[in-house]
Amino acid sequence: MQQPTSGANQRIARIAAHLHPPTLQIEGESSGLGRMDCRAKGGSPGFKVAVLGAAGGIGQPLAMLMKINPLVSVLHLYDVVNTPGVTADISHMDTNAVVRGFLGQQQLEDALAGMDIVIIPAGVPRKPGMTRDDLFNINAGIVKTLCEGIAKCCPKAIVNLISNPVNSTVPIAAEVFKKVGTYDPKRLLGVTMLDVVRANTFVAEVLGLDPREVDVPVVGGHAGVTILPLLSQVKPSCSLTPTEIDYLTDRIQNGGTEVVEAKAGAGSATLSMAYAAAKFADACLRGLRGDAGVIECAYVASTVTELPFFASKVRLGRAGIEEIYSLGPLNEYERTGLEKAKKELAGSIQKGVSFVRK
Ligand SMILES: NC(=O)c1ccc[n+]([C@@H]2O[C@H](COP(=O)([O-])OP(=O)(O)OC[C@H]3O[C@@H](n4cnc5c(N)ncnc54)[C@H](O)[C@@H]3O)[C@@H](O)[C@H]2O)c1
Ligand SMILES: O=C(O)C[C@H](O)C(=O)O
């Protein structure tokens, strides 16, 4: 067998050190104890993104999609289980972002330090027969702890909150941030992008269009009747029959349940959600970069209705949310839907607020 040259030896030694890092020091940063650094050099321009719950059904494909995003230079993957494997795996992708893994509560602060965007899909998913609100007891505490970490380590980060029930977890996050004095409503966004993704898909099917050409605003919140597709505002403009409107509204409002039932106990939407979360995070990153006209629906602190939180179209920019758009003209069907949505949302918001204030 041919002996490697001394140049080759050096290269192999460098790769070996890379695979089994002693205590790697990132340039300009202190290395967390026991942290998994999968590349010692970073420094290329771009944003720093953390995924909390990165080893989960959403977390893993979402981490992969964020690793592909050219706007991301550093990707931190945090979970209470399995991040070493997920981090090693994703770090082999030949894209720009430097990937680092963080395992367990004692590494949460290292995972969050210096982040520009924190995406949170941590928490338990539904099983058939459950509502999203049935997840409150477990997920409320998880979101509270993670947001306490954000307030301490990256209070200026944009937070994309995915964990259910979103209608309550966003108010929980706001209360945590208020308590410690770091709350900036422009930087806290509940991710309702999956409702828009579903609405675009289902409406495109009915109209016989390419879903990429369809834009359906979905407002309100992210559970059952609080998910309110504005089918009178579909672009390109179209006319749907009352039967089509009933079918589409019901399918969009129950898209999550459709997946939960099809998975039959193995969880809820993960792949379409990872796609939707990556699409939404990309919009936030483009806003941060200063791109003009970045507009998406999200569940945010709002004065669009009398409720303190509501999902509608928002414009994203360097400061996070730069403008919140009103709902526009609604037809009678949508006005009735709006009243139902507000009634349920009010209770969910109050439940989240009380959880932190208790
Ligand atoms: N907003 C939406 O549109 C939307 C869509 C789909 C799912 N969800 C919600 O997203 C959440 C996650 O769903 P999933 O399918 O990925 O679940 P999952 O069980 O597959 O993954 C959740 C991950 O969170 C981790 N986790 C648990 N406690 C944690 C903690 N304290 N800190 C960090 N990580 C922790 C778990 O270890 C797990 O890896 C659920 O609450 C689900 O209802 C929201
Ligand atoms: O339905 C769920 O429980 C998950 C998620 O909120 C979804 O809409 O798919």
pLDDT digits (tens, 9 = 90+) for 208-218: 999 999 999 99
Residue with tokens 């360097």: 318
Neighbours of 290 (CB within 10 A): 9
Residue of the nearest CA to atom 8 in ligand 2? 256
Q: How far is CA 30 from the centre of its chain?
A: 27
Judge whether 139 is annotated as a binding position.
Answer: yes
- Is the per-residue pLDDT at 2 higher than 50? no
**Burial of residue 201 (number of CB atoms within 10 Å: 0-12, 13-18, 19+):** middle
Please name the residues in contact with 160: beta carbons below 8 A apart, sequence gap of 6 or more.
Answer: 117, 118, 119, 120, 189, 191, 277, 280, 281, 284
Calculate what percentage of the chain has a pLDDT beyond 70: 88
Contact criterion met (CB below 8 Å) for 217 and 232: no
For 46-101, what is each residue's pLDDT tens digit?
A: 999 999 999 999 999 999 999 999 999 999 999 999 999 999 999 999 999 999 99
Q: Which of 48, 39, 172, 205 is nearest to 113 (CA)?
A: 48
For 313-333, what is each residue's pLDDT tens digit?
A: 999 999 999 999 999 999 999
Residue of the nearest CA to atom 3 in ligand 2? 126
Rounded to the nearest angstrom, the distance between the alpha carbon of 9 and the centre of ligand 2 is 51
Residue with tokens 């998406």: 296
Q: Rounded CA gap, 47 and 75, in Å?
A: 9
Q: Rounded CA gap, 100 and 122, in Å?
A: 17
Question: What confidence tier does 45 reach under pLDDT thresholds 50, 70, 90?
Answer: confident
Rounded to the nearest angstrom, the distance between the alpha carbon of 95 and the centre of ligand 2 is 30
Look up 20 and say whether it is catalytic. Answer: no
Rounded to the nearest angstrom, the distance between the alpha carbon of 270 and the centre of ligand 2 is 9
pLDDT for 304 equals: 98
Which ligand has the shortest distance to the CA of 256?
2
Which ligand has the shortest distance to the CA of 60?
1
pLDDT for 318 equals: 97
Q: Is the CB of 260 under 6 A from ligand 2?
A: yes
Shortest-distance atom of ligand 1 to CA 268: 15
Which ligand has the shortest distance to the CA of 252?
2
Contact criterion met (CB below 8 Å) for 51 and 25: no
Contact criterion met (CB below 8 Å) for 177 and 141: no
Q: What is the ipTM of this complex?
A: 0.99
Q: Is 219 helix (H, G, I), strand (E, B) or coil?
A: strand
For 69-83, what is each residue's pLDDT tens digit?
A: 999 999 999 999 999
Q: Is the CB of 259 under 6 A from ligand 2?
A: yes
Question: What confidence tier does 37 reach under pLDDT thresholds 50, 70, 90?
Answer: very low
Rounded to the nearest angstrom, the distance between the alpha carbon of 188 and the centre of ligand 2 is 20
Helices (H) and strands (E) in the chain, counts: 11, 12
Q: Which of 197, 345, 169, 348 is nearest to 269 (CA)?
A: 197
Residue type at position 257: T
